[in-house]
């Protein structure tokens, strides 16, 4: 057996990307493990949940993986009460209590976008689910929601890929030559967002970034650097993750054709199926961004004060002491309180949007695409071990229903 101290490096190795789950199983044998670099990994369900809700475990004390030019932090890297203030302000134009219908009212536009993307499948007999479906759909949704011109998408796609590709997860991989230098990407994207917020301040629309630029609620307004930091977070969190959930969903359904057929016959199955997908193939595999502010005892181990902690969500989601038959995809397992959206104060802000987008994408895919089959299994994966998902997913089919 390999000693636990080499585990994070093995998980970060791109060769592990198609199937990291045996490594997570190995990791769970030591639920709270100290790595050779002093970082602790926590890999079992209840221990992860407990730390996600423990105020002694901070999200603020580690440098951001993707620092913004001004140094302002997004809510993801703030602790209460600062976190709660920023989250309340950003929630005002997104959800209840101030804007309860925002996501719901986007459903028709979403369905139209998905219809258009699947109509284009009719001209061919093979498609790349990432480039032709799972990527363009959430991008068009967040552009509309945030007030980002859709024609600017290639620019922020390059910036976010360059920032995420450069994040140091301990993987020994060569940087992709097509990507920008991360410092250049950070400065360009920061400048772009500052200009965009300025534009919305002068001429506000009914989008979220305009509301953040001009609206004054009970908590006041974000400062311009905070607006830019929020823009970074929302653009990155709002697309990479949903692309991966939709792609992982199509991949999982094609590996379980009987479940694909069930979804085609009963679209309501999508609701529990998406929760099971978030458990079985979570787009955020772990959270490498916590630090103890005090000594914390968990599962009989004391994690010392000022220690970095990696919370291994995908390992906790397959913990057999929490979920029976944890390695099996069971779309209608009743008890599926997964960690795919995190837990506690940082619980995913965009969860209602991600759920709706994925429901529309998977039910329409199941209903319309005839006889889909994987062209390559496993497909090629992105390098990133945290935001894990296929880089391409070629699928062959025999036509498209109207
Ligand atoms: C399937 C898609 C998604 C997954 C799996 C996902 C997952 C997560 C996870 C695990 C966290 C917790 C991070 C932590 O505790 O450090 C989180 C937080 C967050 N997510 Fe998502 N996310 C998704 C989609 C979205 C979307 C569409 C948006 C934006 C509209 C979004 C915005 C955020 C924000 C702003 C936070 C930080 C919340 C806070 O710090 O209070 N996410 N997400």
217-236 tens-digit pLDDT:
999 999 999 999 999 999 98
pLDDT at 5: 47
- The set of protein residues with a Cβ atom below 6 angstroms from ligand 1 is 59, 75-76, 87, 233-234, 237-238, 241-242, 245, 283-284, 287, 289, 340-342, 346, 348-350, 353-354
For the CA of 76, the closest atom of ligand 1 is: 40
83-96 tens-digit pLDDT:
999 999 999 999 99
For the CA of 355, the closest atom of ligand 1 is: 1
Determine the average pLDDT of the residues in 319-327.
Answer: 98
Q: Looking at domain 4-396, which of 1.10.630.10, 3.30.460.80, 1.10.420.10, 3.40.50.1370 is its CATH number?
A: 1.10.630.10
**Spatial distance between the Cα atoms of 106 and 140, rounded to a whole number of angstroms:** 11
Helix (H, G, I), strand (E, B) or coil at 369: strand
Helix (H, G, I), strand (E, B) or coil at 204: coil
pLDDT exceeds 50 at position 216: yes
DSSP readout, 39-74?
-EEE-SHHHHHHHHT-TTEESSSS--SS--TT-PPP
pLDDT at 402: 93
With cut-offs at 50, 70 and 90, classify the pLDDT of residue 178: confident
What is the bridge-based pairing of β-strands 40-42 and 308-311? Answer: parallel
pLDDT exceeds 50 at position 69: yes
In the chain, where are the structural domains located?
A: 4-396
Taking 3-state DSSP, the helix, strand and coil percentages for the chain, each rounded to the nearest 5, stand at 50, 10, 40
Direct distance between the N- and C-terminal alpha carbons of the chain, in angstroms, rounded to an integer: 53
More confident residue, 240 or 107: 107
Q: Atom 9 of ligand 1 has which residue's CA nearest to it? A: 341
CA of 4 to the centre of ligand 1 (A): 28
pLDDT averaged over every residue in the chain: 93
CA of 119 to the centre of ligand 1 (A): 30
Q: Atom 35 of ligand 1 has which residue's CA nearest to it? A: 349
Determine the average pLDDT of the residues in 325-330.
Answer: 98
With cut-offs at 50, 70 and 90, classify the pLDDT of residue 169: low
pLDDT exceeds 70 at position 3: no
**Spatial distance between the Cα atoms of 368 and 85, rounded to a whole number of angstroms:** 44
pLDDT at 47: 98
């Amino acid at each position: 057996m390999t000693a636990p101290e080499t585990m994070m490096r093995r998980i970060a190795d791109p060769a592990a990307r198609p199937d990291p789950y045996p490594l997570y199983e190995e990791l769970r044998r030591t639920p709270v493990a100290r790595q050779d670099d002093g970082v602790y990994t926590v890999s079992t369900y209840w221990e992860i949940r407990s730390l996600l809700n423990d105020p002694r475990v901070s999200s603020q004390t580690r440098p951001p993986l993707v620092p913004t030019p001004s140094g302002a932090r997004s809510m993801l890297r703030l602790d209460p009460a600062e976190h709660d203030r920023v989250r309340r302000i950003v929630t005002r134009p997104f959800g209840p209590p101030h804007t309860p219908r925002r996501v719901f009212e986007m459903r028709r536009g979403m369905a139209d976008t998905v219809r258009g993307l699947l109509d284009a499948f009719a001209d061919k007999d093979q498609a790349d689910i990432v480039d032709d479906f799972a990527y363009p759909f959430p991008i068009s949704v967040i552009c509309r929601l945030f007030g980002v011109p859709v024609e600017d998408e290639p620019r922020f796609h390059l910036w976010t890929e360059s920032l995420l590709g450069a994040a140091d997860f301990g993987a020994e991989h060569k940087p992709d030559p097509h990507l920008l230098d991360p410092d250049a990407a950070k400065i360009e994207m920061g400048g772009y967002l500052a200009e965009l917020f300025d534009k919305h301040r002068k001429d506000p629309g009914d989008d979220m970034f305009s509301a953040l630029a001009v609206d004054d609620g009970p908590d006041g307004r974000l400062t311009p650097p905070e607006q830019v930091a929020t823009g970074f977070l929302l653009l990155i969190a709002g697309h990479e993750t949903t692309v991966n959930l939709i792609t992982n969903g199509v991949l999982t359904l094609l590996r379980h054709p009987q479940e694909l057929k069930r979804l085609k016959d009963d679209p309501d199955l999508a609701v529990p199926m998406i929760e099971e997908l978030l458990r079985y193939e979570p787009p955020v595999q772990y959270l490498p961004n916590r630090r103890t502010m005090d000594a914390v005892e968990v599962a009989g181990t004391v994690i010392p004060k000022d220690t970095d902690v990696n919370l291994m969500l995908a390992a906790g989601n397959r913990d057999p002491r929490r979920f029976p038959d944890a390695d099996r995809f069971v779309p209608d397992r009743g008890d599926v309180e997964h960690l795919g959206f995190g837990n506690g104060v940082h619980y995913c802000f965009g969860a209602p949007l991600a759920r709706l987008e994925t429901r529309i994408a998977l039910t329409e895919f199941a209903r319309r695409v005839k006889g889909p089959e994987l062209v390559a299994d496993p497909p090629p994966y992105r390098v990133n071990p945290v935001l894990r998902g296929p880089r391409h997913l070629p699928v062959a089919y025999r036509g498209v229903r109207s």
